[in-house]
Structure 1
Amino acid sequence: MRKAQFVLGTIVVVWLAGGSTARADYAWCIQDSEYGYPGDCSYQTREQCLLSASGRKGFCGQNPAFITRAPPQPALRARRTLPY
């Protein structure tokens, strides 16, 4: 019984580790029938995306995950007090 649980657990761990597709987190995505939605999001600029999409029946769109992400907050600086 323990051997069966071990084998089943190993299968689940391998499935979870390798089950997700690699997805870049850049601002622009090629969206077409090959990649679906949101598409291949491996382009930092719209120009890169357009160059890669030329000749395909797709288009470039902004990555929805990139758009909805909150902008980074500026780091707070500690105030230095000078002795008088």
Structure 2
Amino acid sequence: MRKTQLALGALVLAGLAGIEPARADYDYPWCIQGAAYDYPGDCSYQTREQCLASVSGRKGYCGQNPAFLLARPPLQPSPRGRRFPPA
């Protein structure tokens, strides 16, 4: 009986050792921002609509995640807007 309990205990401990805590390293484009939130805010929203629904009734506002704004490649000018002198 003791061997069975020891084996079962070892299995439970081995299973618990492999469990990792939930990861919270998300970085989505929309954040709840305001005085109640650290910079850049609660950036756990994929769309503006999700952010607006979550901020409803709370102090704060929705803003774009600054990390996403800085990570965007710069916009290239449209070739249609250029005019070349006649040759």
What SS is found at the alignment partner of 2:44?
A: strand
Match of 1:36 in 2: 38
Structure 2: gaps of 5 or more residues: 1-23, 74-87
Pairing 1:54–2:37 present: no
User: After TM superposition, which residue ranges in structure 1, 4 or more long, deviate above 2 angstroms?
Assistant: none
The number of residue pairs the alignment matches comes to 51
Q: Distance in 1 between matches of 2:59 and 2:42?
A: 14
Q: Distance in 2 between matches of 1:60 and 1:70?
A: 19
Identity %: 72
Q: What does 1:6-45 correspond to in 2, within 5 Å?
A: 22-45=24-47
Q: Distance in 2 between matches of 1:67 and 1:57?
A: 24
Match of 2:19 in 1: none
Match of 1:16 in 2: none
Match of 1:15 in 2: none
Q: TM-score scaled to structure 2, two decimals?
A: 0.52
- Return closer, same or farther for 1:66/1:46 CA change in 2, 3 Å cut-off: same
Amino acid aligned to 1:24: Y
Q: Which has the greater radius of gyration?
A: 2
Q: TM-score scaled to structure 1, two decimals?
A: 0.54
